[in-house]
Structure 1
Amino acid sequence: MTDDRDEGLEQRRAQLGAELASKRAAVREDERGEIRAEEGRKGYAQAMKLSSEFIAAIIVGVVLGYVLDRFIGTTPWGMIIFLLLGFCAGVLNVLRSAGKVATPELDERKTDKK
């Protein structure tokens, strides 16, 4: 009788072990899917950040050019020049945010002058 009981327990233990293994595999697959989705969201957020920085710099350039043209009366040259400056500033901001161009550090400039 004890042998039958031990065999039944061993069978149940083996069955539970198999179920746990399948559940663990499913959880690992879900975690991999979540990691891939998170990487996709990070890429989308980075793209939105870069595009908004670029567009904001152009808009600021246009507004400054327009204001300069209205007060000084240099129509259309102020807007053209500041539009180009805004475009260049936007490209520089995107390159800095993407890590392609390093930002200058104040400590390095101070030590170079000494």
Structure 2
Amino acid sequence: MSDNDPLKDLGQKIQSAKKSYEVEPKVEGHHSGLQHAWRMVIELVSGMAIGFGLGYGLDVLFGTLPILMIVFTLLGFVAGVRTMLSTAREIQKDQVINRSEKSERNK
């Protein structure tokens, strides 16, 4: 018998081929969706809180207590939603880039 066993060589070639096609682990980790969700919640709440604070301060200053507080709280809500939407677009763009890079590696 020869020293080079063809089945053993074939097994080694299969193992090396499998290693070359293994998917690299994500850098972000499995909690990345939760991190994005908390980021969006914080952006919305902070926008509303800033609007509430400005409205309340102006109401106390001008003596028109509920009016400006309500208006600025609503404006803060709108600003928070706009910030959330821009964050969602940014996250979506990153995911598209990651998918395209992943498909390029698998070719």
Q: Output the TM-score relative to the length of structure 1.
A: 0.58
1:97 Cα deviation (Å)? 2.6
Structure 1 partner of 2:56: 66
SS of residue in 2 equivalent to 1:10:
coil
Q: How many residues in Structure 1 have an aligned counterpart in Structure 2?
A: 90
Structure 1 segments unaligned to the other structure (5+ residues)? 101-114
**Alignment match, 1:112:** none
Q: Going by fraction, where is helix more abundant, 1 or 2?
A: 1
Tell me, in whole angstroms, the C-alpha distance in 1 between the residues paired with 2:63 and 2:9. Answer: 83
Aligned pair in 2 of structure 1 residues 73, 46: CA closer, same or farther (>3 Å)?
A: same
Aligned to 2:8: 15
Identity %: 29
Structure number, greater radius of gyration: 1
CA distance in 2: counterparts of 1:89 and 1:24, whole angstroms: 52
Query: What CA distance in whole angstroms lies between the structure 2 residues aligned with 1:15 and 1:38?
Result: 38
- 1:15 is matched by which residue type in structure 2? K
Give structure 1 regions of 4+ aligned residues with deviation exceeding 6 angstroms: none
